[in-house]
Amino acid sequence: MKALVTGGAGFIGSHVVDELLRRNYEVVVYDNLSSGFLRHLEQGLSEGRIQLIRGDILDAGTLTRAMEGTSTVFHLAANADVRGGRGDTRVDLEQNILGTHRVLEAMRTVEVSEIVFTSSATVYGEPDRFPTPEEYAPTQTSLYGASKLAAEAMIQAYGEYFGIRSYVFRFVSWIGERYSHGVVYDFVNKLRSDPNHLEILGDGNQKKSYLYVEDGIRGIFLARERIVGHKNVLNLGHLEYMNVRDLASIVCSEMGLTDVSFRFTGGPRGWLGDSPFVHLDVSKVRQAGFDPQVSIEQGIRRTVRYLLNNPWLLEARSS
């Protein structure tokens, strides 16, 4: 068994690599290291169990050659900055839509039959149904969400034309070890600079679901093993949710900080395109045996501890 993981040096991708190695796969990591880190792959690389190909997702030739001999592609390489599309309207088009097209074309060329794709809860825009099921018909509110939905559609079309089996996972925000961007990361960074004050985007009442990375990886592999459809679109999130104000308090507590003054920028959203409430219906993956084992609070505390014990990750993102 041999799998290729695009974005395999990143936060979630490196955990996918770990699980594949645990299952005795040969693993090819395809990553340009723009946001991933070789340190996430140290053990597998030192043992010679990972073939690392440093390449851009838009480089069709290198990507196709890297994919030869594989049976499955885990496609995680993407723009991960939900807010970035306002400043550069091409980034989501190029990295998320064209990048996915390059992956699918390479799969078609070398006849790889299965793709696992990491999509996002942002495809639902600002839903009015909670928990939000996979069948919800969304209106798009961000270029990032629109690009993920377009990539999903392309995957399904390639499945129809060329027999590629697909697992599309719509994620909530993930937290845990190797976490390198997002609200917990931002709060830790801000509080390291000023332990007395914390700026919080929005009014602090935004409610979000967060999933601990080990739970998420287990959910992906359980679904892949037990759900047998040809085109599978699955929500993957927590049964719980938490508002941002409470999340900030937990971060402060784990950092040993008291009497931190919160300052809110105001409004129901952290930024244009942000959804004030993210809570997904995970009934389908639960039927495959998935249930989160780590509470949101436990996941936040573990994430803070990891970041404090690995300041190189905070410094790498700040440089």
CA angle, residues 234, 172, 85, in degrees to nearest 5: 110
Amino acid at 28: V
Is 306 designated active site?
A: no
Beta bridge partners of 27: 3, 50
Contact yes or no for 167/299 (Cβ under 8 A): no
The one catalytic residue in 25, 30, 124, 144 is 144
3-state secondary structure of 79: coil
Query: Can you read off the two tokens belonging to residue 300?
Result: 């936040």
Beta bridge partners of 175: 212
Q: How many CB atoms lie within 10 A of CB 114?
A: 17
Query: Can you read off the two tokens belonging to residue 99?
Result: 């990048």
Report the alpha-carbon distance of residue 317 to residue 132 in Å, rounded. 33
Longest dimension (CA), the chain: 59
Question: Can you tell me which residue has the tokens 């994430």?
Answer: 303
Q: Of 222, 107, 232, 123, nearest to 161 (Cα)? A: 107
Residues assigned a catalytic role: 144
